[in-house]
A and B are shown apart, each in its own frame.
Chain A
Amino acid sequence: MSLWSEFNASSEDQWIKKVLDDSSNKTPQDFHWKTEYGNINTFRKAISVLKNDKKDKLSEISWNFEKEKNINSQILNRLKDGINSIHIDGINYADSIFKNVMNDIIYSHIMLNHNASKQAISSWADWINSNPNFKGSIRMCLLTKIINSLNEGDNSIDFTDYQHHFQSNLNTNFKCIYLEISSKHLSFNNHSSEIALTGAYLNEIIEIHKKNNIEIPKKIILKSFLDNSFLENISKLKAVKSIINQVLKIHSIKANLIVETSLNPEILKDKSEDFRILSITSTAMSSFIGGSNSFVLSDSLLISKENYWKKIAANIPLILNEESQINILKDVTKGAHVIEQISFKMADKAWRILKQIEVNGGLLKNLKNSNLKEFIKN
């Protein structure tokens, strides 16, 4: 017998009535969370929700390295701190980078420059191929190329480098479609715009692959930047995964979606070190709960460049992983009415935007015609 049989359940209407009785001169709408993707009604139970895949545990705690100077010692320091994944960002291959790095245990993700030379691409590919136990990926951000070309007034974008990246002798297991829309590319007006443009971007990449006879890889890596709005971060991850999966389904593509999250460094401008620590903790927490596979830290998130503070930053996802019991396979957001409502509304609006972009010819055409002012700030 239920412990609660002496109590009566309450409906949404009964709850709202109680709230209005307890307050004065208010309407139900006064208690809604007003957002750009719709009003969130905390009293309402979610009925329709997004279809989502099984959730993974977060398995990579990563550091992004952009500076070539002393990169090997930087890497070894971070590995000593406990991270298990490194991102080498825009740096040419050199033997010394991976000295004393156990490549069969540590994930290594190589970010090629959008204008990486054939030799640069081949150097990385050769190294990966010579390390049979290599774990990680090699990626190239197409959007940088597109934006740069458009800024230079070049409407016919040359995808030769991108083609080469995919036609290199690299083992297909490491090739991926890389989706990153950071603020250095575009500044979004809001979450729905970001999700829609991510979906549109994926669709554009797939169309480019098809048009240029580039084999579509089995791995999609999404890089998502988070701010401090905790519940919206979690919901955004659910929403963007749902949109991406739907785009893949439309193209009949079966691919493994991997989500990497990072704190958006833009929100840290002029902020103190302890604000940054709190922001890292908040975004790491929402990453774990929202189903991210990897949380990426970088030097740019901290004021201090001392190793001690980088260790403290690296400890944050370790503490969440080891001590808080939140890194579980179970999707704790499944059925959570408020989170389901937020992610549904975000995705619903994003889908409408995406459709509009596609009806108007796709992302590339819209960027060329500067048709996206409604969704982006620059």
Chain B
Amino acid sequence: MGRVSYKNIELDISDLSETSFGHENFIAGVAPFLKGPYSSMYLTRPWTIRQYAGFSTAEKSNLFYRKNLKAGQKGLSVAFDLATHRGYDSNHERVSADVGKAGVAIDSVEDMKILFDKIPLDKMSVSMTMNGAVLPIMAFYIVAAIEQNIELEKLTGTIQNDILKEFMVRNTYIYPPKESMRIVGDIFKFTSKNMPKFNPISISGYHMHEAGANAEIELAYTLANGLEYVKKGIEVGLDIDEFAPRLSFFWGIGMNQFTEIAKMRAARMLWAKIIKKFNPKNPKSMALRTHCQTSGWSLSENDPYNNIARTYIEAMAAVLGGTQSLHTNSLDEAIALPSENAARIARNTQIFIQNENKICNTIDPFGGSHHIEKLTNDIANKAWDLIQEVENQGGMTKAIEMGLPKMRIEEAAAKRQANIDTGKEIIVGLNAYKSLDDQQVDILEIDNKKVKENQINSISKIKSERNQEKVNRILEELTLAAKNNTGNLLEITIRAAKERATLGEISSALEKEFGRYKATVRSISGVYSKEIMEDEKYKKALELAKEFESVVGRRPRIMVAKMGQDGHDRGAKIVATSFADIGFDVDIGSLFQTPKEVAKSAIENDVHIIGVSSLAAGHLSLIPELIKELKKINREDIMLIVGGVVPKKDYQLLFDMGVAAVFGPGTVISEAAQDIIKIMLKGFLKK
């Protein structure tokens, strides 16, 4: 029998049957921009590799930036320390643990000039994550450029300036919502006239994502915030086309690959739909351009080298979704600020995708996929319903005042935590496939004392050399403008910066009139317990809480405290709500407290234990202070535990100080609760 002949056989093919959700025939570069804001997307130019960085002093950060630019990074993204975010100079008593830790310390225009030394601002796009103290930071940047002899029209970059999400999730606000929106409006006015290539806002979903929002909540609330900013721009007298083309966005990208791709596609279409109602003549007004960052929350402290794969997966979702720029997190994100090696790998991840994966040879490669188009459709529709809900309540500012978005996000976060704690959601290395070895990574440590000294000396030098009278006059003008709603606050701040007013002085001048905002602390209940009630560890924690009550005579009482200027409270809120469900009485301390204030609150609330949430590396300075304060008032019996991002090498130091337990990221809540109750019982019985 001879061989089969292939001569007349053709390849088996079939026709593609199209399903229609109503949006598949949209393209890139034309509203509603399904496939991207630019018609040729990466075919012409890949996304910008823009790694967010900053730490300690402006000199050290400057060196780091220049090294990264040499190694292939194409744009700068500046991280400021929490003292700067909250409008305090580095010599303020409230910020001693925060200076230089979570970002670079900037107190004056001199610091800004050092930060951008040998970096030509007319050629380098600079993104600055700043919201609360946006006025002085913008002003310092502008004056630094002027003193580099650069015309403002040439400046490219972005200032985050998304204050609404601060009230929702991130908490680095200074002034109340209405006054903060005034600042946003003034910045829009100034930049639309003087800095046409600069994005005056980065409307951010990232922080909602990190706080626990799912895709449709992140999408809906971010776009609703965007709508609020658009209304502000119109209110201050700008035509839509004068500022809308420069509005930019910022998404968080998590591990759910296809959902994240769909979210980005849906976002572009929904934004175009929202802006179309304002009748723009320039089609660019409807184009959503975005930066993305891979999710920090998704990374684990255990087996940090697993995070290389996680960051890669998330980066792929961002580029398959069509981002314009991208930050990839380092593998040690869950432990500390990135080490040089970790930062190198994170940057190389994007270079790898650009050079090896050949993604830039196409546009929207999953476009047309039934699964992706269905996801896009579903997310768009769900998000649209949520946006309508917000609008029906009077807009996002009102909704924020009522606390609705924050509650929704916290509910989503509590649900997800319960799923992880029960093992319904698997995190490799955390609740499954754990490693027996523990490979340590080198971490970047900031000697905060030296940074503070450096900054304090710089501040003194500036103050001694400037024309104090001029500074005072301009700061008074600023306060008056704030009071009377006159002038442009950015324009006045620029003049103050030129005369070497410090960031703290500028912020105080505004605070005199605006006040410093204090959020109402709210908590949800029942969400965590609903998801986890059959879990054995949870049941055991409930039992132990009851046992404590019967032995001691009252329920275990915990105060969840955040000290310093760190406003990230996802973990603290989850602990608060879940511990309340377990049977604790929970007091949630206000944000930004000093150790003295925490000690005072702890006594007033008669707590058994203080749970300190630390995410900004302040633990080694703030915890000893708190212990000192408790000792001063003879309440050393109040136990201390620490939760959050604490390098393993610091654990023993904390134990030696008297901390009873430390819980890192990924701790199972009910297991932590059991441990805490046992510690408390032991302590009680000892007495």
Contacting residues, chain B, for A326 (C-beta < 8 A) = 257-258
- Kindly supply a per-residue 1/0 record for chain A positions 291-317, scoring 1 wherever the CB is within 8 Å of any chain B CB and 0 otherwise: 000000000000000011101100110
A228 to B381, CA, bound (A): 36
A275-B352 contact given A3-B381, A249-B12, CB 8 Å threshold: yes
| Cβ-based interface call for A51 (8 A) | yes
| Cβ-based interface call for B439 (8 A) | yes
Contact A315 B357 (CB under 8 A): no
Contact A324 B313 (CB under 8 A): yes
Contact A3 B22 (CB under 8 A): yes
A9-B26 contact given A40-B362, A50-B13, A351-B11, CB 8 Å threshold: yes
Given A19-B43, A324-B255, A333-B369: 20 more A-B contacts, CB < 8 Å: A3-B23, A4-B26, A15-B28, A22-B39, A48-B16, A50-B11, A207-B4, A229-B357, A230-B358, A230-B359, A274-B345, A275-B352, A282-B312, A308-B439, A311-B303, A318-B428, A326-B258, A334-B369, A334-B370, A335-B369
Contact B38 A325 (CB under 8 A): no
Contact A337 B305 (CB under 8 A): no
A334 to B436, CA, bound (A): 41
Among B270, B308, B356, B437, the residue within 8 A (CB) of A274 is B308
Instruction: Please name the residue on chain A nearest to B370 by beta carbon.
Output: A335
- Kindly supply a per-residue 1/0 record for chain B positions 232-248, scoring 1 wherever the CB is within 8 Å of any chain A CB and 0 otherwise: 00000000000000000
Contacting residues, chain A, for B23 (C-beta < 8 A) = 2-4
CB distance from A105 to the nearest CB of B (A): 16
A359 to B4, CA, bound (A): 10
Contact A319 B310 (CB under 8 A): yes
Contact B40 A19 (CB under 8 A): yes
Residue tally, chain A, CB below 8 Å to B:
90
Contacting residues, chain A, for B22 (C-beta < 8 A) = 2-5
A-B complex: 3 closest residue pairs judged by Cβ atoms: A9-B25, A2-B22, A336-B369
A308 to B362, CA, bound (A): 37
Contacting residues, chain B, for A246 (C-beta < 8 A) = 9, 11-12
| Cβ-based interface call for A355 (8 A) | yes
- Kindly supply a per-residue 1/0 record for chain B positions 347-363, scoring 1 wherever the CB is within 8 Å of any chain A CB and 0 otherwise: 01100100011110111
Instruction: Please name the residue on chain B nearest to A344 by beta carbon.
Output: B13
A307 to B438, CA, bound (A): 12
| Cβ-based interface call for B484 (8 A) | no
Instruction: Please name the residue on chain A nearest to B11 by beta carbon.
Output: A351
Instruction: Please name the residue on chain B nearest to A34 by beta carbon.
Output: B361
A245 to B588, CA, bound (A): 63
Contacting residues, chain A, for B435 (C-beta < 8 A) = 308, 311
Contacting residues, chain A, for B312 (C-beta < 8 A) = 278, 281-282
CB distance from B176 to the nearest CB of A (A): 35
> Which chain B residues (6-45) contact chain A, with CB distance < 8 Å?
6-7, 9-16, 18-19, 22-23, 25-32, 38-40, 43-44
> Which chain B residues (392-444) contact chain A, with CB distance < 8 Å?
426-429, 432-433, 435-437, 439
Contact B9 A250 (CB under 8 A): yes
| Cβ-based interface call for A46 (8 A) | yes
Instruction: Please name the residue on chain B nearest to A228 by beta carbon.
Output: B356
A280 to B305, CA, bound (A): 13
Instruction: Please name the residue on chain A nearest to B277 by beta carbon.
Output: A6
Contact A10 B30 (CB under 8 A): yes
Contacting residues, chain B, for A119 (C-beta < 8 A) = none
A45-B368 contact given A4-B26, A275-B352, A315-B433, CB 8 Å threshold: yes
12 pairs from A and B in contact (CB 8 Å cutoff):
A4-B22, A4-B23, A7-B272, A19-B40, A23-B44, A229-B356, A274-B348, A275-B348, A282-B312, A325-B257, A325-B259, A358-B5
Contacting residues, chain B, for A250 (C-beta < 8 A) = 4, 6, 9
Judged by DSSP, the binding face of A is: helix
Instruction: Please name the residue on chain A nearest to B5 by beta carbon.
Output: A358
| Cβ-based interface call for B367 (8 A) | yes
| Cβ-based interface call for B653 (8 A) | no
CB distance from A229 to the nearest CB of B (A): 5
| Cβ-based interface call for B3 (8 A) | yes
Contact B428 A281 (CB under 8 A): no
Contact A49 B14 (CB under 8 A): yes
Contacting residues, chain B, for A127 (C-beta < 8 A) = none
A129 to B136, CA, bound (A): 78
| Cβ-based interface call for A210 (8 A) | yes
Contact A312 B366 (CB under 8 A): no
Contact A51 B1 (CB under 8 A): no
A336 to B257, CA, bound (A): 15
| Cβ-based interface call for B316 (8 A) | yes
Among B39, B44, B429, the residue within 8 A (CB) of A315 is B429
Contact A332 B437 (CB under 8 A): no
| Cβ-based interface call for A224 (8 A) | no
CB distance from B347 to the nearest CB of A (A): 11
Among B256, B305, B368, B432, the residue within 8 A (CB) of A325 is B256
Among A18, A232, A249, the residue within 8 A (CB) of B29 is A18
CB distance from A44 to the nearest CB of B (A): 10
Contacting residues, chain B, for A171 (C-beta < 8 A) = none
A310 to B9, CA, bound (A): 46
Contacting residues, chain B, for A50 (C-beta < 8 A) = 11-14
CB distance from B518 to the nearest CB of A (A): 38
Contact A323 B369 (CB under 8 A): no
